[in-house]
């Protein structure tokens, strides 16, 4: 038990009350538990109108000193990272805090040797191997800003992210393993770099041992660079002293309009918030083995594989592969093998594994599990019950953590074993999080047994500070829909007890297998196909993925002869432009889209048709061409009956 753990439900209520009444005092108390080069002059200054939020102003720190150096004396030989490879036959690796620090310092020097200085942006496109954690921390060590790109994104997406951030250096691998597949990461990076003028160097890690192209002067091998550093003789790389509000990283995420935005997180507040929420929400105890199944390419991996756990001296298990390889029992094998105490995963994974049947769980020793966690989308009751019974053996609490890339860490969640939990409810605001539900006019909805749009009216240390290179866009996207508040984009209800349940996005953002995808982005990609006139993309309920992608496409001539070939073409186009994760699950060709007289696509109608609910489409008389709705309905029924 530490200062960071709330100790009882009563304690949670008191802590929450204090955090709202005296936020500065509350957060500075939490911040005191971290290591600072210099303490802050001011805990908080803020203005949501011009979006200017500063936490721990004047403070100096390096987050890696908190994640590594400060644990060396007491926990130097304790495991920081346990790495489980894709192939169960390959040896796993354990990196103690000492070893991890050593490697981070080494690689920090590699980055410096390759011209990276404080403030430079570095793009990281690596598989889930320990070197990914090392690369991330090495950037933070020298004050470079990392931008990790998930391995499922295409060359075009990498290029867009590199160009937006003007990244100077890229870190990748020859290839990565995911189940039976080899992902040719370096090839994909090479395709991207044709469009990227800012990139001077590419560091390539050997992982898959597949042939890759290496350009003299630009591309260097990770392993060679390490040898160079070794021969230089100095094993140390002192932590760069950072201001609390200096940028720590950029992570691109999709919104309802336009291209993905680079969400910016800063050093001090993000560290305090992720460390605190990690320890408190999971009730992490030193020595626990903690396994988060997310990919570091997403915010969950940043906050709750790397920074949160490591700042707390935890043991964080990193898994390279996928839940169904070599079979659907892999998570449970890993749990058994490494005696996992806390398992944090996504509803889509639970639903998929549940579908394979209980035989994959039976016979696995899951007695080590004491806490379970879920993230990414609302967890349906059936999945919750299965997780609770089959994995938690009816004993382990489940924390359903609601949060976002933009929030840095948990906003709403039970606290493991401390607060009550109800399946499909995220339950309680975390200390320091001041939630409000508002109606369409932005008026606060008070009392219980109500629902509305979920906003936050007071800053918290882990919140985004800007979107890279475009502060106006950040203000507009998050802080202008409802004046004076951060708008999450989600709807929520507060039940008669005051417990929160997230009802899902109210904007045009989809959540497919826990991956966030903007409908506008998918439409833009589809529309780039030479035979497409226009398209409209909506989500529909999908038994495993949570949401599937449904595209209504107006094409010219060709599709009428060979619709399946055209569907394949469209999928290929979307894979090229965004990545395979954004491929539509269903494509329906239509002769036109339902539009208002002013030309606005009536998505409400398309959503209903995609959901298979055409009984009440609402008023269609304002449509330019009401006939088109009948045609789309017929087409959708035809597709379903096939």
Residues that bind ligand WT7 (CB under 6 A): 253, 299-300, 375-378, 400-405, 426, 488-490, 502, 505, 511, 516
Q: Which residue has the tokens 């906050």?
A: 303
- Extract the tokens encoding 84: 């489980």
- Extract the tokens encoding 569: 């073409």
d(C-alpha 479, C-alpha 563), whole Å: 43
Q: Which is nearer to ligand WT7, 433 or 636 (CB)?
A: 433
- Bridge pairing between strands 42-47 and 52-57: antiparallel
Tell me the closest approach of the beta carbon of residue 300 to ligand WT7, in angstroms: 5
8 Å CB contact between 313 and 71: yes
Tell me the closest approach of the beta carbon of residue 305 to ligand WT7, in angstroms: 12
Cis peptide before 158 (omega within 30 of 0): no
Bridge partners of residue 57, in order along the sequence:
42
Q: How many CB atoms lie within 10 A of CB 49?
A: 11
Helices and strands counted in the chain (H then E): 21, 30
8 Å CB contact between 373 and 341: no
Strand order in the sheet with 219-221: 219-221, 201-205, 169-173, 121-125, 145-148, 247-253, 261-266, 466-467
Cα 524 from chain centroid (whole Å): 23
Residue among 302, 343, 352 at smallest CA distance from 325 = 352
d(C-alpha 525, C-alpha 520), whole Å: 9
Q: Which is nearer to ligand WT7, 299 or 590 (CB)?
A: 299
Tell me the closest approach of the beta carbon of residue 158 to ligand WT7, in angstroms: 18
Tell me the closest approach of the beta carbon of residue 284 to ligand WT7, in angstroms: 18
Tell me the closest approach of the beta carbon of residue 119 to ligand WT7, in angstroms: 25
d(C-alpha 570, C-alpha 568), whole Å: 5
Q: Which is nearer to ligand WT7, 68 or 418 (CB)?
A: 418
Tell me the closest approach of the beta carbon of residue 401 to ligand WT7, in angstroms: 5
Q: Which is nearer to ligand WT7, 380 or 480 (CB)?
A: 380
Q: Which is nearer to ligand WT7, 338 or 505 (CB)?
A: 505
Q: Which is nearer to ligand WT7, 491 or 635 (CB)?
A: 491
Tell me the closest approach of the beta carbon of residue 517 to ligand WT7, in angstroms: 9
b/e sequence 288-314, b meaning 16+ C-beta within 10 Å: bbbbbbbbbbbbbbbbbbbbbbbbbbb
Tell me the closest approach of the beta carbon of residue 504 to ligand WT7, in angstroms: 6
Q: CA dist 550 to 347, 535, 567, Å?
A: 21, 10, 12
Q: Which is nearer to ligand WT7, 28 or 352 (CB)?
A: 352
Q: Which is nearer to ligand WT7, 378 or 461 (CB)?
A: 378
Report the SS3 class of residue 329.
coil
Tell me the closest approach of the beta carbon of residue 623 to ligand WT7, in angstroms: 30
Q: Which is nearer to ligand WT7, 309 or 376 (CB)?
A: 376
Tell me the closest approach of the beta carbon of residue 404 to ligand WT7, in angstroms: 4
Q: What does DSSP assign to residue 596?
A: B
Q: Which is nearer to ligand WT7, 69 or 490 (CB)?
A: 490
């Amino acid at each position: 038990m530490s200062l960071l753990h709330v100790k009882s439900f009563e304690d949670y209520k008191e802590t929450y009350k204090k955090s709202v009444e005296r936020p500065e005092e509350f957060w500075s108390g939490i911040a005191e538990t971290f290591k600072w080069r210099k303490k802050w002059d001011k805990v908080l200054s803020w203005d949501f109108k011009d979006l200017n939020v500063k936490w721990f102003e004047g403070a100096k720190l390096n987050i890696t000193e908190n994640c590594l150096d400060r644990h060396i004396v007491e926990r130097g030989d304790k495991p920081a990272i346990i790495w489980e490879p894709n192939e169960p036959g390959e040896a796993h690796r354990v990196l103690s805090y000492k070893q991890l620090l050593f490697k981070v310092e080494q690689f920090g020097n590699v980055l410096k040797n390759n011209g990276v200085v404080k403030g430079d942006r570095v793009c990281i496109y690596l598989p889930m191997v320990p070197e990914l954690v090392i690369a991330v921390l090495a950037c933070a060590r020298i004050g470079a800003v990392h931008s990790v790109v998930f391995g499922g994104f295409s060359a075009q997406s990498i290029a867009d992210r590199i160009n937006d951030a003007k990244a100077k250096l890229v870190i990748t691998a020859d290839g990565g393993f995911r189940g039976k597949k080899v992902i040719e990461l370096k090839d994909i990076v090479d395709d991207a770099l044709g469009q990227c003028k800012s990139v001077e160097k590419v560091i390539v890690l050997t992982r898959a041992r597949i042939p890759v192209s290496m350009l003299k002067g630009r591309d260097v091998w990770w392993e060679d660079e390490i040898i160079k550093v070794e021969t230089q003789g100095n094993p140390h790389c002192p932590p760069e002293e950072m201001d609390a509000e200096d940028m720590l990283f950029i992570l691109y995420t999709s919104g309802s309009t336009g291209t993905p935005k680079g969400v910016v997180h800063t050093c001090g507040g993000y560290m305090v918030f992720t460390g605190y929420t990690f320890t408190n929400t999971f009730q992490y105890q030193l020595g626990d083995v903690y396994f988060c199944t997310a990919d570091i390419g997403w915010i969950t991996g940043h906050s709750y594989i790397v920074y949160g756990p490591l700042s707390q001296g935890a043991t964080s298990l990193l898994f390279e592969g996928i839940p169904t390889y070599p079979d659907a029992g892999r998570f449970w094998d890993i749990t058994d093998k490494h005696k996992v105490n806390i398992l944090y995963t996504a509803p889509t994974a639970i639903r998929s594994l549940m579908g394979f049947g209980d035989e994959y769980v039976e016979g696995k020793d899951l007695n080590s599990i004491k806490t379970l966690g879920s993230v990414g989308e609302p967890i349906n009751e059936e999945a919750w019950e299965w997780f609770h019974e089959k994995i938690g053996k009816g004993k382990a609490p489940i924390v359903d953590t609601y949060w976002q890339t933009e929030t840095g860490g948990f906003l709403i969640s039970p606290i493991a074993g401390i607060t009550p939990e109800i399946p499909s409810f995220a339950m309680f605001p975390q200390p320091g999080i001041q939630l409000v539900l508002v109606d369409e006019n932005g008026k606060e909805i008070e009392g219980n047994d109500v629902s509305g749009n979920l906003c936050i009216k007071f800053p918290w240390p882990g919140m985004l500070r800007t979107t890279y290179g475009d502060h106006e866009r950040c203000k507009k996207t998050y802080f202008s829909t409802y004046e004076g508040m951060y708008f999450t984009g989600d709807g929520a209800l507060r039940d008669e007890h005051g417990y929160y349940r997230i009802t899902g996005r109210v904007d045009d953002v989809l959540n497919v297998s826990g991956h966030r995808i903007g409908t506008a982005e998918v439409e833009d990609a589809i529309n780039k196909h030479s035979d497409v006139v226009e398209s409209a993309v909506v989500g529909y309920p999908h038994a495993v993925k949570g949401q599937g992608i449904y595209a209504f496409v107006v094409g010219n001539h060709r599709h009428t002869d060979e619709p399946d070939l055209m569907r394949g073409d469209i999928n290929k186009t979307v894979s090229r432009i965004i990545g395979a994760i954004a491929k539509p699950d269903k494509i329906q060709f239509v002769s036109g889209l339902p539009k208002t007289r002013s030309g606005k696509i009536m998505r409400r109608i398309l959503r209903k048709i995609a959901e298979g609910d055409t009984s009440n489409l609402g008023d269609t008389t304002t449509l330019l061409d009401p006939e088109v709705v009948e045609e789309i309905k017929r087409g959708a029924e035809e597709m379903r009956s096939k």
